[in-house]
């Protein structure tokens, strides 16, 4: 049997939204240099877990794509997840407006319903072990139930710019203007 591998399901921005995210990343790069996630392509992570059968996962996602439409995503400026529970840094993100967050949460729910039961529980749990102590009880339960700590109303859909080291935070935050 194949070893389980982590897979993430994400939305990829296009056009002006993609350009704006790349511009934000470039501003931070100029202000503070390399940071975690800074060179990652713009994306909005919907779900992440480890799976053994990639073909089955792709089949389930393929079925789902016939039911989904590209969501409208409107940004509301920069936001920070202070002392990010996964990185320990301040994660700078582009905030999405509340109405669009609800649309994205409904989309995530459909993805979780179709894919979470296919995950490799042991490998999915192992992925979050280094951050386990910093996860709330609800997020630990979500990892155990679904493989991902951020689901449902706890999930804050966003586009990450970078996870900034505390020593660089003030310069990174000031780059937004």
For the segment 39-88, what is each residue's pLDDT rounded down to a tens digit?
999 999 999 999 999 999 999 999 998 888 888 899 998 999 999 999 99
The answer on pLDDT for 141 being more than 90 is: yes
The answer on pLDDT for 177 being more than 80 is: no
Which region holds residue 121: left if phi is over 0, alpha if psi is between -120 and 50, else beta? alpha
Domain containing 109 — which CATH number? 3.90.1140.10
* 148 phi and psi angles, rounded to 5 deg: -140, 135
CB 147 within 8 A of CB 50: yes
- Which pTM does this prediction carry? 0.90
CA gap 63, 11 in Å, rounded: 16
pLDDT of residue 2: 79
Provide the domain limits for residue 126.
5-174
The answer on pLDDT for 1 being more than 70 is: no
pLDDT of residue 30: 97
pLDDT of residue 70: 84
Q: How much of the chain, in percent, has pLDDT values that exceed 70?
A: 99
Q: ∠ CA 142-147-149 to the nearest 5 degrees?
A: 45
pLDDT of residue 31: 97
Chain centroid to Cα 14, Å, comes to 17
* 42 phi and psi angles, rounded to 5 deg: -60, 130
Number of domains making up the chain: 1
Read off the pLDDT band of 9 (50, 70, 90). very high
**Residue with more model confidence, 64 or 176:** 64
């Amino acid at each position: 049997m194949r070893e389980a591998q982590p897979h993430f399901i994400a939305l990829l921005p296009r056009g002006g939204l993609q350009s704006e995210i790349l511009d934000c990343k470039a501003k931070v790069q100029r202000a503070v240099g390399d940071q975690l996630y800074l060179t990652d392509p713009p994306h909005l992570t919907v779900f992440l877990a480890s799976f053994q059968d990639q073909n089955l996962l792709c089949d389930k996602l393929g079925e789902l794509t016939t039911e989904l439409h590209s969501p409208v995503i409107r940004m509301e400026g920069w936001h920070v997840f202070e002392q990010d529970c996964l990185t320990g840094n301040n994660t700078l993100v582009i905030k999405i407006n509340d109405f669009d967050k609800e649309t994205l949460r409904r989309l995530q729910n459909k993805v979780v319903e179709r894919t979470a039961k296919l995950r490799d529980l042991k490998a999915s749990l192992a992925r979050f072990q280094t951050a386990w102590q910093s996860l709330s009880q609800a997020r630990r339960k979500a990892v155990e139930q679904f493989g991902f700590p951020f689901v449902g109303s706890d999930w804050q859909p966003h586009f990450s710019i970078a996870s900034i080291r505390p020593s660089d935070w003030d310069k990174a935050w000031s780059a937004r203007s």
